[in-house]
Amino acid sequence: MPAEPFSGKGLFVTGTDTGVGKTLVAAALARFLKNRSVDVGVMKPVETGIDAPDGLGPDGRLLKWAADSRDEDRLISPCRFRAPLAPSIAAEKEGSTVDVDMLVDTARELSGRHDYLIVEGAGGLMVPLAGGHLVADLVRKLGFPLLVVCRSGLGTINHTLLTVFAARAMDIPVAGFIVNGMSEAPDEAEESAPHALSSLASADILGVLGRVDGDEHSRVESLTAEIGALPSLPWLLNSLELPAES
């Protein structure tokens, strides 16, 4: 059963696969909201592949920087593991487990501190967290709508449709999807993907973002600017339950 909704607003950002840029998009959304004077919190519930898990990993650090967060690291990223594996496997290698209820309680605490909370998942919806729990189960417990970040190239239609259909089958509300990493000179597969997805996914396309270069901070700043210039910005803000002007 879905958990009782939080009192605050929020969004859960997932990807259709690893490496689609969901951390950059989540960070850019946080930066965009901060620039609009929205009190935004950020959370990376589980991060793996961290060299020194006593501190934030690269995803957690980027989200914290993007939102200019003053929250404690234990709240921003409660579970951190060394092995670059699925959370349940990475935790097992360290003799630990991921406590899904603790993650929900942590998100609830963050949600109570901020007007808006952006939560970024690990991998895709079907990634195992612990004891039969998937990332999708965490999303459902949180009760936030889902933003799907997908790549622009060949294969993205299949991956995106599977993600959206799985979310709907599990009664997870889908805010929409963002196509990330579109090249300046897209090939036929890239060029046709957004239109095909918008007609097949039964979900709103909330933006097409270009491929950006530079270090992570520069890339987030570039994507933040792109988000602000999106023709679909009103739809994006509506999906985030935010006013068109703030």
Catalytic residues: 44
Name residue 59's beta-bridge partners.
none
Exposure pattern of 118-147 as b/e (b: 16+ CB <10 Å)?
A: bbbbbbbbebbbbeebbbbbbbbbbbbbbb
Query: What residue type is 36 in one-letter code?
Result: R
Element (H, E) at 182: strand 174-182
Backbone angles phi, psi at 9, to 5 degrees: -95, 155
Say if strands 128-130 and 133-134 run parallel, antiparallel, or are unpaired.
Answer: antiparallel
